[in-house]
Chain A
Amino acid sequence: MSIAPAPSAVPPAADAQPLLVLERLLKIYGEGCPDCVARTGPAAGTNVCPRCRSVVACGDLSLRLDPGEIFGIVGESGSGKSTLLRCLYFDETPTAGHAYLTPYEAGRVDVFAISPQRRRYVRHHLLGMVYQHPHLGLDLDTSAGGNIAEKMLMAGTRHVGRMRERARELLGRTEVPLDRMDEPPRRFSGGMQQRVQIAKTLANNPPLVLLDEVTTGQDVSVQARVLDLIRSLGRSLGLAMIAVSHDLGVIRLLAQRTAVMKNGRIVELGLTDQILEDPQHPYTQLLVSSQL
């Protein structure tokens, strides 16, 4: 008689350690009340609490990200995508929730709970953010090279020559003409500003880059170029990214896995291809049929 091994005797597949674990992120704009979470979300069709009028921008979001993975977040305007990224980048203080980054204290410390000084360290060494509007990520009146230097200065570099070398390398990678390195990006086109912002983001080799609607509002040809750039950077540098867009087409080009958001909640999460071919949630079905 052969005895099948009990399931519990099988060691669990040694999952690669995730880069980021986000647990139950809650972000409420406003006073908040005990009913906020229960009375908002896709079922309620709103992110505004009917009792206290607070906005539940992110309600209980959890996700895991592997090193080198490009993760997409798609959803209509106001669904909470930017708020999620801003919380991860410490631009906003979450109402509740935890985040663990493996490169920080081996992922054992909740980075939402650390001191402002430590937060600055995480923000400048481990994270990069590319904002939809370049003026949020760049000082448009400081030279392109100076913007890149700023990120390195925040991480403690004190060598002009080395910073300029690195700026040249990054601007080369992001296809910004090197003879414009000492010019302020205010004089650049929107697409070029966005590429300078990406270069700045990469200055300290962060393992995780957050991208908020990087191509929104740009010409199709500019969009394609920026998306190509992001994909090749991801591949060549082994960067993990969270790319946010309201445009399923952009997400399809970038992301291996995707979360679909509505009214501050994740309604569906899975492999991008599967979501596109076989959407489960009615909202995802609507999104897929209307956009593709």
Chain B
Amino acid sequence: MRAADLLVARRSGYNFAFLDEHSKREVRRALLKAVAIPGHQVPFAPRELPIALGWGTGGLQITLSLIGPRDVLKVIDQGSDDSVNAVNLRRLITRTTGVRTTTDTRRATIIQTRHRVPEESLRADQVLVFQVPYPEPLRRVEPSDVQTRRMHAEQDYSRLWVYLYEDIVRWGDVTIPHRYPVRVHGRYVMDPSPIPRWDVPKLHRSPTLGLFGAGREKRVYAIPPHTRVEPLEFDDHPFRVEDFGGERCRRCGSGRSFLSAIYDRATGRRYYVCSDTDYCERRIAGGAAQRAAAP
């Protein structure tokens, strides 16, 4: 079904936010349990959606289950508001709810995201919804679900630690670029979704509720506000975020945001821009305003 058809579908009887109330309640029930056990994966039964599995259906169902008419929605994909995936998801949500949307992180009440946490500090009156492809942080070391469930139950994370140890022995440092495993509330080890390491510290004691949805794997989990979120690290090999070697965003000049490398075919050189486009735009606009205000 194309998104445009949905408008018609809605007129012909689709419920607010596409899902029926019963389905939303089921998702919210799973989310309540997830919030009660921070970092613990809770099974839920995904509904049919006009979006293919693997394209953010887990996050989408969370958003659809929570959203109300007065919410202001922001959807980003790798930090960008206008990638195709973000546009499609945003269109589906607005056409079935009529809610307002924004690209301004500060104005959004619900932010659905794939692979990034916005640079802007988030607040307690906002909810951050993550699209998760692989919810199981132990999958790296254990293929069986029965085993990973037992390992979580017994807090047996030694094999993940061995994985980090081997990484350090082989490469001198932990090489995991994204999906860096974190321990939540001192208990469950959790996959924070494919965010870069840069974003991991932002989850620690954040005032914002973080909700994670994996549609294909039928799991939701949560980080309640102000929860301890600690990357797995050794005393003598502390966790580190990406180092851009002093590079700055070519557009806004920021040296304090997560940068995407861009290869310039004309010059054969590589340059950097902010991955968070809203943050970047606002800095550019702010700079322009400052210049305009200057005598």
Contact = CB atoms under 8 A, between A and B. Distances in A.
Interface of A: 116-117, 120, 139, 142-143, 145-146, 149-150, 153-154, 158-164, 182
Nearest to B157: A153
A124 to B, nearest CB: 8
Interface string B152-189: 01111011011001101110000000000000000000
Contacts of B169: 143, 145-146, 160, 164, 182
A150 B159 contact: yes
14 contacts: A116-B154, A117-B154, A117-B155, A142-B166, A143-B169, A146-B162, A146-B166, A149-B161, A150-B159, A153-B158, A153-B165, A159-B235, A160-B169, A161-B236
Nearest to B154: A116
A160 B154 contact: no
A161 B165 CA distance: 10
Given A120-B156, A182-B169, A160 B236 contact: yes
Main secondary structure of the interface of B (DSSP, over half): helix
Nearest to B161: A153
A272 B247 CA distance: 74
Contacts of B235: 158-159
Contacts of B166: 142-143, 146
Contact of A154 (B158, B165, B168, B233): B158
Contacts of B100: none
Contacts of A146: 162, 165-166, 169
A117 B153 CA distance: 9
Nearest to A149: B165
Interface of B: 153-156, 158-159, 161-162, 165-166, 168-170, 233-237
A146 B174 CA distance: 14
Given A117-B154, A120-B156, A145-B169, A150 B162 contact: yes
A145 B170 CA distance: 12
Contacts of B165: 146, 149, 153, 160, 163
Given A153-B161, A154-B156, 12 more contacts: A117-B154, A117-B155, A120-B156, A143-B166, A145-B169, A146-B165, A150-B158, A150-B159, A150-B161, A159-B236, A160-B168, A160-B236
Contacts of B159: 150
Contacts of B237: 160
Contacts of B154: 116-117, 120
B162 A153 contact: yes
Contacts of A161: 236
B234 A159 contact: yes
A143 B165 CA distance: 10
Nearest to A117: B154
Contacts of A139: 162
Nearest to A116: B154
B237 to A, nearest CB: 6
Given A153-B162, A153-B165, A160 B156 contact: no
A149 B234 contact: no
A160 B170 CA distance: 12
A117 B187 CA distance: 13
B265 to A, nearest CB: 42
Contacts of B234: 158-160
Contacts of A145: 169
Contacts of A150: 158-159, 161-162
Nearest to B237: A160
A128 to B, nearest CB: 15
Nearest to A150: B162
A57 B125 CA distance: 62
A161 B234 CA distance: 10
Contacts of A117: 154-155
A169 to B, nearest CB: 17
A178 B161 CA distance: 22
Contacts of A143: 166, 169
Contacts of A182: 169-170
A139 B154 CA distance: 20
Nearest to B168: A160
A120 to B, nearest CB: 6
A116 B149 CA distance: 14
Given A117-B154, A117-B155, A120-B156, A142 B162 contact: yes
B100 to A, nearest CB: 47
Contacts of A142: 162, 166
Contacts of B236: 159-162
Contacts of A149: 161-162, 165
